Amino acid sequence: MDIFDSVKTMQAKAASLRNQGKTVAFVPTMGYFHEGHLNLMREGRKRADYLVVSIYVNPTQFSPTEDLDQYPRDFTRDCSLAEQVGVDAVFFPDNAAMYPQGYQTYIDVENVTRNLCGASRPGHFRGVATICAKLFHIVQPHVTIFGKKDFQQLAVIKTMLRDLNMDIELIGLATTREDDGLAMSSRNAYLSAEERKSALALSRSLALAKHLFESGETDGDTIVRQVTQYIESHPLTNIDYVQISNADTIEETKNVDRNTFIALAVKVGATRLIDNYVFGDALDVPRPE
């Protein structure tokens, strides 16, 4: 497995692969791999000749009050896991390589970033769009794979690729979950045992929303109210948002149908977790009693 820390070397490798008519798949990550990341890589492995994974905790998508410094990192373990699933190259740049002195260019995707995490985390998606565009220009992939856990992020990338005419296929992969339903996240490492129990409120509340929808409920306010009440019945939880939105525009809607999704952001103790459910999709989570 190749490990590149230089932009120039990674870019030269990508250009040389393209010259040889090889296809490139790309999974951008912030590292500290769990099964969710590995599933993205397994999908990428199937879809191209050469599979690149980037590991970079991007400072421009964190606000000054967020967890940039404490974000978990384990490069050695990550490389070992990447190699086991057949990754060809890990791109592992440092901040000086990505944001050199005088850096000043940013990408705004406007409408799909107004709600949900875009509202709660000002500047977050500007950082995400910018770093992804940079990584796309460096890795030059034919196909890129993102998880649906960050559903709004997926919409941001889809919109940016379309608007800026980037010739890259985007695959969104279903959220990988722990056996009890908790969405996998590097931030789960922050949870105490008690918080870990309360964190189940997120996925369970989505199973409740699914059940209500399948029972014929199409009123968004009703579903949001029941989901909210269910989450609030768990200790240590503090809701940032519970919202139903159109899956393409990410605009809030009151009418639930199969082109809408319910998104949650909940602080459990000091840890902010997100999860979501697209109405009509499968969801392998037991419904609360």
List residues near a copy of itself by CB under 8 A: 7, 11, 15, 18-19, 21, 102-112, 129-130, 133-134, 137-138, 140, 159-160, 163-167, 249
For the bound state, the minimum distance from the C-beta of residue 250 to a copy of itself, rounded and expressed in Å, comes to 11
Straight-line distance from the first to the last Cα atom of the chain, in angstroms, rounded to the nearest whole number: 48
Which three-class secondary structure state does DSSP give residue 185?
coil
H or E stretch at 274: strand 271-278
Smallest gap from residue 45 Cβ to a copy of itself (A): 23
**Least spacing, CB of residue 8 vs a copy of itself, in Å:** 9
Between 107 and 231, name the residue whose CB sits nearer to a copy of itself: 107
Told to judge if 34 belongs to the known catalytic residues of this protein, a careful annotator would answer: no
Task: Give the C-alpha separation, 81 to 47, whole Å.
Answer: 19
Cβ distance to a copy of itself smaller for residue 15 or 189: 15
In total, the chain counts a number of residues equal to: 289
Least Å distance between CB 98 and a copy of itself? Answer: 9
Nearest Cα neighbor of 112 from 64, 153, 75 is: 153
Smallest gap from Cβ 78 to a copy of itself, in A, equals 22
Residue 229 bridge partners (DSSP): none
Given the complex with a copy of itself, which of 175 and 260 has the nearer CB atom? 260
Token pair belonging to 68: 């940039």
Q: Nearer to a copy of itself by C-beta: 218 or 249?
A: 249
Residues 239, 246: Cα–Cα separation, whole Å: 21
Give which of 29, 80, 65 is closest to 184, Cα–Cα: 29
Quick one: 48 or 173, whose CB is closer to a copy of itself?
A: 48
Q: Which is nearer to a copy of itself, 48 or 81 (CB)?
A: 48
HSE of 179, CA atoms in CB hemisphere, 13 A? 0
Q: Is residue 242 helix, strand or coil?
A: strand
Measure CA 2 to chain center.
25
Active-site entry in 34, 37, 137, 211: 37
Q: How far is CA 8 from the centre of its chain?
A: 27
Pairwise CA distance, residues 62 & 97, whole Å: 18
Eight-state DSSP code of residue 166:
-
Name the minimum Å distance from CB 60 to a copy of itself. Answer: 11
Q: Where in the sequence numbering do the catalytic residues fall?
A: 37
